[in-house]
Amino acid sequence: MVMKARHKRFMLIAIGLVLLGLAAKLILNAFQSNMVFFYTPTQVEKGEVPKNTGFRIGGLVLKDSLKREDDGLTVHFVITDTAKTVPVIYKGILPDLFKEGKGVVAQGKVGADGLFVASEVLAKHDENYMPPEAAEALKRAKEQGTNSLVMPK
Amino acid sequence: MIPEIGHFSLILALLVALVLGTFPIIGAARGNTVWMGLARPAAKAQFFLIAVAFVSLAYTFASMDYSVIYVAANSNSKLPLQYRIAAVWGGHEGSLLLWAMILSIWTVAVSLFSKHLPDAMRARILGVMGLVSVGFILFMLTVSNPFERLIPAALDGRDLNPLLQDPGMVFHPPMLYMGYVGFSVAFAFAIAALLGGELDAAWARWSRPWTTLAWLFLTVGLMGGSNWAYYELGWGGWWFWDAVENASFMPWLVGTALIHSLAVTEKRGSFKAWTVLLAICAFSLSLLGTFLVRSGVLTSVHAFATDPKRGMFILVFLVIVIGGSLGLFAWRAPTVGRGGKFSVVSRESFLLANNVLLAVAAFSVLLGTLYPLFLDALGLGKISVGPPYFDTVFAPLMAPALFLMGIGPIARWKSAALPELAMRLRWAFGVSVVTAVVLPMVLGHWTPMIGLGLFLAFWIIATSVYMVYQRLRGHEQSLLTRVKAVPRSWWGMVIAHLGIAIFTLGVTVVKGFESEIAVRMLPGDVAHLAGYDFTFEGVQDSQGPNYTASRGLLRVTKNGVERTVLAPEKRLYTVQNMPMTEAGISPHIIHDLYASLGEPLSDGAWSVRIYHKPMVEWIWAGCAMMAFGGLLALSDRRYRMKKRREKESMPNEVVA
């Protein structure tokens, strides 16, 4: 089978376009299914969060809320945006900079009992720096003017 | 006094950079040789002045002068000398000075090693680099001056972020910046070619060694960064798809594409416009990387500064550089002309496919890195895109690229025949398929991803072996003579490709076979992982220069025979009151054993994480091989020979 140069070029371009289309579809699909949304404890309380997919919450670790189970690895703590609170359970070793009263971001799912099961806990990176998500949660709570329940000291 | 000298010479450097960025380019357009001749002395003067500024800042750090804000914010009297020096690039302002310093090094290097270039070309290249330099020096002098005074002076500094107090800090940023900024040379060559309308094979040949050198530095920088993250962060990971890592990975992907496309432009004259576009993209992504890391827009260990004015400056700078160069490209590229023709199956096509795949991969990283920032900036919500996205995207994009890597170097230029290629590579294919199926079964764990990874790694190795065999066949001369007869750039390619195979092997095995446990351990407790017994011997206090540490001891035995001792540390850096994990690692060619301390629990118990990482060191060994391949290619005789020959024939050289 002999093809003319023009046909060959057309073939090449067509194959290229089809492959690029496939790549675009792959990338966008992967992107869509791996996006993780961020919510504040207030939104969790109101039930505005997805039921079966994971998401991130941010805020401060409520003072005196950190408790360890006997295995030494499972921890319970409470994340607050100063208006509402979310209880969190996490099995694993907490990051170096995790501290009560300081900013934190957790990724995971919320169970039927309202307990947030974290698969990942991220803390801020230095003394002066707050994770943007945690700062955002505090800001939103403040804007809504409902920060009367719990104030971290 | 010393900081003022630094500040003053930075101002002088700005003036020199302005001269460098204007007169030679205008001179080249008008054929004014005196103006063009300004380029080389200006490049040297700029280098000298920025070096004075850089040394001034380093001296200010070394002499602990806390009347300078930047020093007070990033250093401390207890900080050891090597970290006080490295703290020069520990923050935003000093990193910019390092950037400018390295740019001036590249500029002066181009001025020294470009005697064989036509005058106008050289003037334009140095001029474009001067313009980039103007942007960076202006940025420092207006919104982020490292020499700004603090009155009254601080009693002591706030200390360098403890995460950065590591030997990695001394080497990693300068290497990475050498790579980043090195792409400015390829960029300047491309802009100069567009301005002068001289896009030919000679242009590609001249910019090739510079691009390879920049790529080499970037490879080493990425390798160092990955290795640093591996032992410093204590999670046993070697790549996190963190936005800052992505920022340096994108220029690497595009730079790799650029190296290959330059090869085609030089050898066959094709892909000219595409090569120019890649050169512009590689440098634009480097600038974007600097912007992402240094403007504080990211939640990341690397983003220390948050200041909107700076962000605006870099944004405007980015728009001018990227918009301007793409505009110039759109205007001048149609005049470039077409290169040699090639058929659907040819080495050109394989290289084109490789280029497209690398570019698409770079785009997918860009999307995952920038899209969350866009949404956030537009107030449409906060999202994050984690490692699962990048993992999902990268495997299907890189697998065909790696497969084509085995075929490309064997296929003929212009036109190749598929049946013939299939015949020649059938053994290599068979060997890699069999290995991919049998090896994991022997190791006791088979998944499609492990199979695919092993297949691709062995495919590259087998095709390389075939290639070398073909090249060295014949018995007239001794093997050594035959090895020497093959150009070093060819050996460089083979070794860099084998580096990719070694890297792929490491990634596949560590991803497929790694294991980890997190346990609560009392002194005397034994944990078991991967056939090893880890006995916890408790924790002892120790004292560092500017930290206190709890040093754990884990005795590792297998079947009762002691193999190694791991000593992970939990440090508390006293100045910032910041805890840090220092992993205890026993590196080995077969596998790493890795332990890190979690938190102290009741009764002297600690939470401890233990990792078994088979063949993880191969990842960095592969990167080192790639860099070595680049080095071999650079040492190729033809670059030196050509220079000499061209120099001799300079007076009557005509640029087509």
Write the ipTM: 0.80
Q: In this prediction, what percent of chain B has a pLDDT beyond 90?
A: 66
pLDDT of B651 strictly over 60: no
Name the B residues in 14-73 with CB < 8 Å from any A CB: none
- CB atoms under 10 Å from CB of B174, counted, come to 19
- Outline where B322-417 has alpha helix (H): 324-332, 347-377, 387-407
Out of B89-98, B213-222, B468-477, give the one with best mean pLDDT: B213-222
Cβ distance B601 to A11 less than 8 Å, yes or no, reads no
Residue B226 is classified by DSSP as: H
What is the amino acid identity at position B510?
V
Q: What is the DSSP track for B237-262?
A: -S----HHHHHHHHHHHHHHHHHHHH
Mean pLDDT in chain B?
A: 89
Of A33, A73, A127, Cβ closest to residue B520: A73
Cβ distance A12 to B349 less than 8 Å, yes or no, reads yes
pLDDT of residue B642: 53
Q: Which helix (H) or strand (E) holds A56?
A: strand A55-61
Name the A residues in 38-97 with CB < 8 Å from any B CB: 38, 56, 68, 71-73, 92-94, 96-97
Percent helix / strand / coil, chain B, rounded to 5: 65, 10, 20
- CB atoms under 10 Å from CB of B373, counted, come to 13
B305 shares contact with chain A (CB less than 8 Å): no
pLDDT of residue A153: 33
B392 shares contact with chain A (CB less than 8 Å): yes
pLDDT of B640 strictly over 90: no
Average pLDDT over residues B577-582: 86
Q: What is the DSSP track for B257-299?
A: HHHHHHHHHHHHS--HHHHHHHHHHHHHHHHHHHHHHHTT-S-
Cβ distance B343 to A20 less than 8 Å, yes or no, reads no
Chain B positions in Cβ-Cβ contact with residue A37 (cut-off 8 Å): 381-383
A11 shares contact with chain B (CB less than 8 Å): yes
Lowest mean pLDDT among A44-58, B236-250, B629-643: B629-643
Domain A38-143 top-level CATH class: mainly beta
Q: Look up residue A49 and give its two tokens.
A: 């969060």
Domain layout of chain A by residue ranges = 1-35, 38-143
Q: Look up residue B313 and give its two tokens.
A: 């400056």
Q: How confident is the model at residue A125 (pLDDT cuts 50, 70, 90)?
A: low
Chain B positions in Cβ-Cβ contact with residue A72 (cut-off 8 Å): 520, 601-602, 605, 607
A21 shares contact with chain B (CB less than 8 Å): no
pLDDT of residue B647: 47
Q: What is the DSSP track for A92-153?
A: SPPPTT--TTSEEEEEEEE-TTS-EEEEEEEE-SSTT---HHHHHHHHHHHHTT-TTS----
Answer whether B516's CB lies under 8 Å from B597's CB. Answer: no
Chain B positions in Cβ-Cβ contact with residue A34 (cut-off 8 Å): 385-386, 388-389, 392
Q: How confident is the model at residue B197 (pLDDT cuts 50, 70, 90)?
A: confident
Q: In this prediction, what percent of chain B has a pLDDT beyond 70?
A: 95
B286 shares contact with chain A (CB less than 8 Å): no
Q: Which of B83, B79, B82, B101 is nearest to B146 (CA)?
A: B101
Distance from CA of A35 to the nearest CA of B (A): 5
Lowest mean pLDDT among A54-58, A84-88, B55-59, B120-124: A54-58
Q: How confident is the model at residue A9 (pLDDT cuts 50, 70, 90)?
A: confident
Domain layout of chain B by residue ranges = 1-165, 192-413, 417-513, 515-615
pLDDT of residue A83: 86
pLDDT of B299 strictly over 50: no
Average pLDDT over residues B478-506: 93
pLDDT of residue B530: 92
Of B234, B301, B385, Cβ closest to residue A35: B385
pLDDT, tens digit (0-9, with 9 covering 90-100), for B554-565:
999 999 999 999
Average pLDDT over residues B511-531: 93
Residue B526 is classified by DSSP as: E
pLDDT, tens digit (0-9, with 9 covering 90-100), for B135-194:
999 999 998 899 999 988 888 888 888 888 888 899 999 999 999 999 999 999 999 999
pLDDT of residue B337: 67
Q: In this prediction, what percent of chain A has a pLDDT beyond 90?
A: 9
B153 shares contact with chain A (CB less than 8 Å): no
Q: What is the pTM of this model?
A: 0.91
Average pLDDT over residues A71-89: 89
Between residues B578 and B557, the one the model is more confident about: B557
pLDDT of residue B176: 93
Average pLDDT over residues B206-223: 95
pLDDT of B77 strictly over 60: yes
Percent helix / strand / coil, chain A, rounded to 5: 30, 30, 40
pLDDT of B549 strictly over 90: yes
Between residues B222 and A95, the one the model is more confident about: B222
Chain B positions in Cβ-Cβ contact with residue A129 (cut-off 8 Å): 304
pLDDT of residue B221: 95
pLDDT of residue A37: 87
Sign of CA dihedral B489, B495, B498, B503: negative
Of A20, A33, A35, Cβ closest to residue B383: A35
